[in-house]
Chain A
Amino acid sequence: DAGVTQSPTHLIKTRGQHVTLRCSPISGHKSVSWYQQVLGQGPQFIFQYYEKEERGRGNFPDRFSARQFPNYSSELNVNALLLGDSALYLCASSLIGDEQYFGPGTRLTVT
């Protein structure tokens, strides 16, 4: 079975630009979560979606937004990029209330 997939793998953007990251969950998983991992730190929770509804939001500014589609895939959008947004963005999928399975991540570099 395919695991969680994310695209793109790497991305370089300029300050002030917008970025969209994509995630496809494991088949049958209806919950998708997004995390930001800065170098040297553990992943930090950004959003969780279940059945296309937002179930949780971490301590991130409104520049960060996400959505989940009817096929349970998800997008994370970040507007007005800052240098500090450079990080590995991880997507995880799960059956609700169960362990989360992580994708390989998207490495975002903001210059």
Chain B
Amino acid sequence: AQSVSQHNHHVILSEAASLELGCNYSYGGTVNLFWYVQYPGQHLQLLLKYFSGDPLVKGIKGFEAEFIKSKFSFNLRKPSVQWSDTAEYFCAVSGGSQGNLIFGKGTKLSVKP
């Protein structure tokens, strides 16, 4: 069955710490990969996406993610987090021409000032 697994439910970091959020997926065939963010009181926003090409993808606000096909992974990274990065982060996958997104359960990130 198609699924997305996010390893961490809640991550707590201090400002300036480095961040890595894990995401693994189970999906047969070609995949498109996404990270969405939901800031408190706001709606889901796209951080970055991978469709094809360079497996290292850069997104908004200094975030990046690396697609490792052999590991079925798409981990999100940021070298130095800020208090404003406090939010919930969702990894998602869609396949080929299918438009529907399959989401992980999300990781809540709390950054202490």
Q: Count chain B residues whose beta carbon lies closer than 8 angstroms to a beta carbon of A.
A: 21
Contact (Cβ within 8 A) B100 A45:
yes
Contact (Cβ within 8 A) B43 A104:
yes
Contact (Cβ within 8 A) B99 A42:
no
Nearest-Cβ distance from residue A52 to partner chain B, whole angstroms = 15
Contact A43 B103, CB 8 Å, known A99-B34, A103-B43: yes
Give A69 to B107 CA distance when docked, in angstroms: 36
Taking the complex as formed, is B11 at the interface, i.e. its CB lies under 8 A from any CB of chain A?
no
Taking the complex as formed, is B44 at the interface, i.e. its CB lies under 8 A from any CB of chain A?
yes
User: A33: which B residues are within 8 A, CB to CB?
Assistant: 99-101
Q: Which residues of A line the B interface, CB within 8 A?
A: 31, 33, 35, 40-45, 48, 50, 55-56, 58, 90, 92, 94, 96-97, 99-105
